[in-house]
Amino acid sequence: MWMVCSRGFNLKPVSLGFNPVQCVCVSEKNQLCPKNTKSRKPSTPKSSPVYPFLLHLQYRVRLPPFCKAATAPSPSTSGSLASPASASICRKHEIDTLSDPNCGDSIDIYCLDSNYEHHVDLLKRLYLPKDSLLESWNSFHSALGVLELATEFNCHEIIESCVRYLEAVPWEDKEEELILKVVPKLGPLAMPILARVDPVDFSSTKNVFLSAIRFATSIVSPCASFGDELKTSAQEQLEYMLGDDDEEIPLVIADEEVKAESKKGLMNISSSFEKELFCLLSQTEYEVAEKKVMQSLSDLGWICNILSKMDLMKEFVDQWIDLSDRVIGIMEDKILKNGMWDLKLKIIELTGKVLDAVGYGNVIMPAVRRVELVKTWLPYIRKMKPVLDSIGDNESGFPYKMDDDLCQSIEGAIVALLSALPSNDQADILADWMSGEQEEVRYPDLSEAFEIWCYRTKSAKRRLVEGLDRLGKSKTTVSL
């Protein structure tokens, strides 16, 4: 083989281990060939793009068998192909060219500088035995580049070896992007490469989702060697799956088995949180207990987000209302009264999500449960807000104050929730709110809810009076 450097014209011999082919790289204006080769200026079709390089293939071979069926071989060709892999290299253009008695013993293949090496790699494989093709690959980019050319030249055995190699080897992220860009254009023979990125069916998606739920909620305990890594990974992947636009996911979360397993996971996490919370009151190793309860609370916050995406937020709200009295009782215990500010803030944040879901009608609850929710948490939030503010004012950098967004969110949710309660329950809650200390009355500001209640009360009284008047007139008319 003879080759010219990509941009220069220094002719040098390069051995690729085969003799039947001579290869010369030529420029657009100058064609360079070995001295023993008859130089022939290539003819480029007018519609062809301008390529920076021309790969000149010198075939000292007779036409492949399928070419002979259509036309007689050129008298100038001689020798034989070294491998069946090259038996189908001729496309229609090359078949017509080699079948022309005036064509000589060569064909011209135009290539870009970027895929010149892939053409050379393809030539190497043409002279390898079929059994050696698969073992000859050692580069992802080389195999993919040759696959594109082999598909173009219809080299089935080389295509098969490329496909088997690319289907089996691992891909980097960028390589996977390249596969998804290139392979779909190569036809059905290359489709096995995409097996690992094909969409999965409903049953497979459901099974993965169920397994992830079990690990994420510790229904199934992971191997001790994994620690919490597997649980954390399962939680992250569930969030990713629920945030995806996969058309299978809505069907999965609507499945009764998936719903039942999710509810079971909620019960498991809630039970674990309550257990760790009680341990704070009796645990001698306080730091260990604090770490465990914070992890349980984090799991509770995670499943709150998950259930909201699965239309199961009502289950979480019910569970949180049931836990509320016991949680507040522990938080107000004398052991924890002057500490655990991070835990107390996280609990208020989680309660804010519950208030928001119920207050704005995303979760429909009976009036009795809504009243219970407000009467349980409103006094605690009113009490904790000034305490956290006071500590923040006295300690620079105190990180556990209720920020403005959280305060506004909770206040708006309580006003909306309160305004939807029966009027007598509204009156009880508003009376308690106004009878508190000045700092407690300041937050949350329920004056809007109070105005609404007053307006409705007056309207109701007016309607009552008007109704009584109409009733009295009606009786007078009847008596006359």
Q: pLDDT for 156-208, tens place per residue?
A: 999 999 999 999 999 999 999 999 999 999 999 999 999 999 888 889 889 99
Q: What does the mean pLDDT of the chain come to?
A: 77
- DSSP SS3 for 12: strand
Q: What is the pLDDT of residue 120?
A: 86
Please say if the pLDDT value at position 465 is more than 50: yes
Compute the average pLDDT of residues 221-231. Answer: 67
The predicted pLDDT at position 119 comes to: 87
More reliable by pLDDT, 121 or 363: 363
CA distance 232 to 236: 6
Separation in Å, CA 2 to CA 5, 90, 122, 163, 218: 10, 22, 16, 30, 66
- Per-residue pLDDT reduced to its tens digit, 414-464: 999 999 999 999 999 999 888 866 555 578 999 999 999 999 888 766 766
Residue 344, helix vs strand vs coil: helix
pTM of the model: 0.70
The answer to whether residues 140 and 174 touch, using CB atoms and an 8 Å cutoff, is no
Question: Given a cut of 60, is residue 252 above it in pLDDT?
Answer: yes
pLDDT of residue 259: 95
- How confident is residue 349, by pLDDT bands cut at 50, 70 and 90? very high
Sole residue written with tokens 């690959």: 137
C-alpha torsion 129→3→6→113, nearest 10: -40
User: Using one digit for the tens of pLDDT, what is the confidence trace for 1-34?
Assistant: 333 323 222 223 333 333 333 333 333 333 333 3
Strands 11-13 and 2-4, by their bridges, are: antiparallel
Over 50: is that where the pLDDT of 343 sits? yes
Helices 140-153 and 116-126 pack at an angle, to 10 degrees, of 70
Q: What does residue 59 show for φ and ψ, rounded to 5 degrees?
A: -95, 115
DSSP string, 287-330: HHHHHHHHHHHHHHHHHHHHHHHTT-HHHHHHHHHHHHHHHHHH
Q: 150-159: per-residue pLDDT in tens?
A: 998 888 999 9
Quick: pLDDT tens for 385-419: 999 999 998 888 899 999 999 999 999 999 999 99
pLDDT reported for residue 49: 44
Report how far residue 28's alpha carbon sits from residue 50's, in angstroms, rounded to the nearest whole number: 8
